[in-house]
Structure 1
Amino acid sequence: MGSMHPAARAEDAFNSVLGTLLSRRGFVTRVLAYSGYASSTQARVMGRIVLSRVDAADQPIDPMYASVRRGIRVFMAAPQSRQPVQVRLGDAVVDTHSDRGGYFDITLQGHGLEPGWHHARVRCGTVESTAPVQVIGDDIRFGIISDIDDTCVVTSLPRPMLAAYNTFVLPETARRVVPGMSALYRSLLAHNPGSPMLYLSTGAWNTQPIINRFLQRHGFPTGALLMTDWGATETAVFRSGREHKRSQLRRLAVEFPNIQWLLVGDDGQHDPEIYDEFAAEMPDNVRAIAIRQLTVTQQMLSHGHPLSRDDGRASPTFKVEGGDGYALFQELSCLRTLDTGVSHA
């Protein structure tokens, strides 16, 4: 405890005070269970234990309410650290505890379930929730990993003021979708039944309910979200978004060695660099890279100048670029090595 970073100690102290105040106001323990994924032998289930009021955070989309609901609401909860958590999926059961941020991220062995979608039961004390989990068959050879910010939803990140506005102030239904991206993903998955769709983002787990509703509202395929905690770590003030993406990609390559991934991102941040590095490190796990090109205006808003961050280096794998999902679909249809079932020109 003495070696913990001062920012982490300050965060823990704040959360302790916040938890006490919210408990006095009648807030209750809630289990936020996130979507997970699994192979035939093991499963990954994630979630968070918080103190929160029982509101519409996890209820079905209500357009009238969502039109005024702002992002700041999802941050109004106190994490519950070191709480006992039990996760049950099929034949597998694991007992664990939430970490200092209230999170749990566990691996269950021997669930014994067939490929398809199942539900894990997550219990904390007397409170229960369920987490959807996709079991991916051993015969699956193709999958999609997609960024979210400026790939699925127009966010103009990472400029701090715009990021804060988009995250905390903007009403949910005012967020703009990138044209054609959901259609691209649905088409690819329709030609590859049983293939996984995963969303890899540096966004905060707190925004997961908003992101899920956004993806659902705009017809994106269901898939696990792999997000991160914006809080301090035991060794640093901020977590590294790049390292989060790198570590998740490597983990997926180990967990699914037979799957070749289509990696989709944008040129507004570091996706091209991260994807190229991963393709060079593990070429057998990458089928292609698709980069959504931001407009000049979006490039200016994203990082202050009109030029892409792409340094012009040749990609070690097949790589296509386009301004939206429709353009990327046309580019991907020309790659005969990408066996999507799409007719080739």
Structure 2
Amino acid sequence: MATPTPHPSQRPHLAAVVEDHFYAAAGWVLRRAGWHPRLETYSGYGTPDQVRVLARVLLSRPRPAAPDIEALRAGRRGFRHFLTVPVPHRRLRLQVGGHSSVVTSDRAGYVDVELPTDEPLPAGWQSAILTVLDEADPWGAEAPILVLDEHVRFGVISDMDDTTMVTAVPRPLLAAWNTFVRHSSGRRAVPGMPELYRTLQGAHPDAGFFYLSTGAWNTANTLREFLSRHTYPRGPLLLTDWGPTLTGWFRSGPAHKEASLEHLMSWFPHVDWLLIGDDGQHDPEIYAKAVRRRPDRVRAVAIRQLTGGQQVLAGHVPASGHTVTGSDIPQVPTVTGRDGAELTRRLATVPGVLER
């Protein structure tokens, strides 16, 4: 899914052209075999007056409804989440807060739109209704939206891999392992991290929690199930698309995270953020950039420190044994720790984080 920053118009990359032709041919065959569009919705977010709605239109084989289809999807081997064919350029009606619009899915079937609500939405979890048009029997689905009003003063933006969940595989193999091999129920939480997040939620009941990852949207159900199973606070996932883009073979993970951070900070200028990540890849550098851009919008930064072996597996070798310290992210309090318990102890010394 595209990041909030639009790309300039240009000639599509060859890989994107090949992908589009492949999906067009596969879609034609599957539609003739009786497959039909279905909506997969993701958690969006917004203010009482404006929201961002996220969803995707995919082809689905006709089959009886399962008692708990979300649980069944989340429990599948990872590679099955990628056996999908998108429905591009499909028109949908979107209704939220008294506002109705007709939107169109992009080349990969994604719907990523920002629109006014007309009628102010209450704070908390709300819903947008999406209806697939141009079908003999139009049908729809609800997309959850987290609404933060002007009274919310605290929020959490968290990385996923090696921060909320244990990865412990070489970074070059991470995508293949988590995507194609690992069973979703086999993912383990980083010790002490669920307890830390629940403590933060207890101290700030109206806080917004956002989970930021370079993982593909195809894994959203798996990640949502992981967060729920380990009782992390509910919050929107901010993921990326899988496969070629209009400009190259892959999207830039750091660019996705930087754009998402800036988007959240610009949408919610009344919120002070706690940024949580790890030192296995680029989180300290990305968070440092965010602090330099908006030092008044970051209350604190918490970095989980990986062991030397974990850092090597994550594809990062510290220079001369250097580890992240508070001086690496100036202007705001920065704490580090090996797990959630250590981070909790150190965050307790930062005013306004573990207590109001």
TM-score (normalised: structure 2): 0.89
- Is residue 2:114 matched to residue 1:99? no
Q: Once the two structures are aligned, what percentage of the paired residues are identical? A: 43
- Cα distance, 1:173 vs structure 2: 1.3
Q: CA deviation at 1:161?
A: 2.2
Who is 1:286 aligned against?
Answer: 298
1:82 corresponds in structure 2 to 89
Aligned to 1:314: 328
Of 164, 174, 187, 1:175 maps to 187
Aligned mates of 2:68, 2:285 — CA distance in 1: 35
User: 2:274 & 2:329 partners in 1: Cα distance?
Assistant: 14
> 1:20 offset after TM fit, Å?
2.2
What TM-score, normalized to structure 1? 0.91
- Does residue 52 of structure 2 align to residue 38 of structure 1? no
Kept in 1, the 8 Å contact 2:200–2:353? The answer is no
The Cα offsets for residues 165-192 of structure 1, whole Å up to 9 and x where unpaired, read as 1221011111111112121111111111
Are 2:198 and 1:186 aligned? yes
Deviations 1:299-345 (A, max 9, x none): 12111647678676531221111111111111100112x34328xxx
Aligned to 1:115: 123
**Residue matched to 1:330:** 345
Q: Does the alignment pair 1:52 with 2:60?
A: yes
Paired with 1:56 and 1:184, the residues of 2 have a C-alpha distance of 35
Q: For residues 309 and 262 of structure 2, what CA distance do their matches in structure 1 show?
A: 33
| CA displacement at 1:101 relative to structure 2 | 0.8
Q: Match of 2:230, as an amino acid?
A: H
- Superposition CA RMSD, Å: 2.3
Q: Which amino acid aligns with 1:34?
A: Y
**Post-superposition shift, 1:92?**
1.9
* Map of 2:247 onto structure 1: 235
Whole-angstrom CA distance in 2 between matches of 1:46 and 1:111:
20
> Helix, strand or coil: the match of 2:314?
helix
Distance 1:21 1:290 in 2: 49
What is the one-letter code of the residue matched to 1:288?
A
**5+ residue gaps, structure 1:** none
Distance 1:13 1:107, change over 3 A: same
1:98–1:75 distance in 2 versus 1, CA, 3 Å: same
**Among residues 5, 15, 25, which one is paired with 2:13 in the alignment?**
5
Whether the 8 Å contact between 1:87 and 1:94 is mirrored in structure 2 is yes
Q: Cα distance, 1:34 vs. partner?
A: 0.5
SS in structure 1 at match of 2:328: coil
Secondary structure of the structure 1 residue equivalent to 2:71: coil
Whole-angstrom distance in 1 between the partners of 2:35 and 2:11: 32
How many residues are aligned here?
Answer: 338
Separation (CA, whole Å) in 2 of partners of 1:153 and 1:113: 33
Q: Tell me what 1:254 maps to.
A: 266
Secondary structure at the counterpart of residue 237 of structure 1: coil
Q: Where has structure 1 moved over 6 Å in runs of 4 or more? A: 55-58, 306-309
Structure 1 residues 326 and 111: alpha-carbon distance in aligned structure 2, compared to 1, 3 A threshold: farther
8 A Cα contact 1:4 1:234, kept in partner: yes
- Given that 1:72 and 1:167 are in contact with CA atoms closer than 8 Å, whether structure 2 keeps it comes out as yes
